[in-house]
Amino acid sequence: MTDSPAVPAAAPATASPWPVRAAVFAAATVGIVGCVVGYLLLAAPGSWTGGARPLQWTAREFAITHGAGQLTRDGLALTATDASGTVVVSFSTTFRSRDYPVIAWDVTGIPEGVEAALLWHSDYQPARVSARQLTVEAGHIAPALVAGERDWIGHVSGLALVLRGSFSNPIVVHAVTAKPQTPAQVLADRGNEWLAFEPWNGASINNVVGGADAQDLPLPLLLAAMAGSAILIYAGLARWKPRLLGPSLAAVSAAFFLGAWFLLDLRWQWNLLRQVEITRAQYAGKSWRERHLAAEDGPLFAFIEKVRAKLPPPPARVFMAADVHYFRDRGAYHLYPYNVYFDPWRNTLPPPSALRAGDYLVVYQRKGVQYDAAERHLRWDGLTPVNADLLLFDAGAALFRIE
């Protein structure tokens, strides 16, 4: 008896990748479109077909009715309040309120503690001035949805911005825009916020926010919502067709997550390229001293150069004082290798008893320091005066030698 020839085993069937690809495309499309449409339903109360065009007024059209300020190249700089601690900026308008549900003020430099409000009057009640509180975020004023306000009716004939509170540095009003808040305009605003250039700052070594300082919808949040929605949709499809789509669920979920991360990284790389060009224009081809003068603390560096010319050779005790901690830190850095004393955390100076003859005090934009040239008395923060010579005086800065 002879053995019959062995029948070769059939090769396992290979699953087609097309169902997975089709499911990925469908999940991504529905997730992206669903998130965008859902956001627009909440954020775009204006007409979805047609609609008015945005109206904008610049600083040249504004008038200060309370407080003080001046027109600059950057905008209307508000420098002081009136006796009641209020600044009012107003201008005349003429538009239908129903066409413009959002009023957006472009204002920078609003410190903490300053409150903002929008005033308007219309032909609906000509003798009445209506008001709405505004939200201040990161030194800016958030766009105000006024469509739901009781008195936002008729033709608006005047708008005004009210700021209440104390401030030391100027608050700059650049412009104000009446927005129809159509879907196209909302998408354009979000795109401008996401792609706005974000220059390097003291926190950039740790993180980059990604666009404008104040955003209605941060791009990371939107991409996370899109990726999460797409993953949930694909998971639902995999549950419906587990044999076709189930084995790829983990890989597809990771792909959606990495795709969102890649888009954020592209935005960061684009910001980096623009920052590189700005840095090159600021520092390229300059000497060591010229680069220091071109840096953000260039005026401080120039003053410290004058200070060092007045100081004896190291070692000598030098006290660095400034209201801003950045200037205290940088001033001390530029003064090394002298024995520099400064408080990196608080705006304090040592008590007069801690100073001795031959010490030096460097003051840079520091309030509360008084000097009587006739008596040669130096006093700070209302403490006991000490005898001192004024060796150098510059705009908002001085060098003293303790006697």
**Band of pLDDT at residue 11, cut at 50, 70 and 90:** very low
pLDDT of residue 133 exceeding 90: yes
Q: What number is the average pLDDT over the span 367-396?
A: 92
pLDDT at 89: 96
Q: What number is the average pLDDT over the span 70-76?
A: 92
Least confident segment among 54-58, 136-140, 153-157, 231-235 = 136-140
Q: What number is the average pLDDT over the span 365-369?
A: 91
pLDDT at 187: 92
Q: What is the pLDDT of residues 182-205, one digit of tens each?
A: 999 899 989 988 988 888 776 676
**Band of pLDDT at residue 8, cut at 50, 70 and 90:** low
Q: What is the pLDDT of residues 89-118, one digit of tens each?
A: 999 999 999 999 999 999 999 998 999 999
pLDDT of residue 315 exceeding 90: no
pLDDT at 107: 94
Q: What letter represents residue 301's amino acid?
A: F
Q: What is the pLDDT of residues 113-126, one digit of tens each?
A: 999 999 999 988 88
pLDDT of residue 14 exceeding 90: no
How would you classify the pairing of strands 55-58 and 76-80?
A: unpaired
C-alpha 220, offset from chain centre: 16
**Band of pLDDT at residue 15, cut at 50, 70 and 90:** very low
pLDDT at 17: 81
pLDDT at 64: 95
Distance from C-alpha of 213 to C-alpha of 203, rounded to nearest angstrom: 13
Measuring CA to CA, how many Å separate 394 from each of 184, 311, 321, 391?
53, 16, 15, 10
Q: What is the pLDDT of residues 142-167, one digit of tens each?
A: 999 998 888 899 999 999 999 999 99
pLDDT of residue 208 exceeding 80: no
Q: What number is the average pLDDT over the span 227-251?
A: 92
pLDDT of residue 256 exceeding 60: yes
Q: What is the pLDDT of residues 326-364, one digit of tens each?
A: 999 999 999 999 999 999 888 988 899 899 999 999 999
Q: What number is the average pLDDT over the span 271-275?
A: 91
Q: What is the pLDDT of residues 22-62, one digit of tens each?
A: 999 999 999 999 999 999 999 888 888 777 889 999 999 99
pLDDT of residue 127 exceeding 50: yes
Q: What is the mean pLDDT of the chain?
A: 89
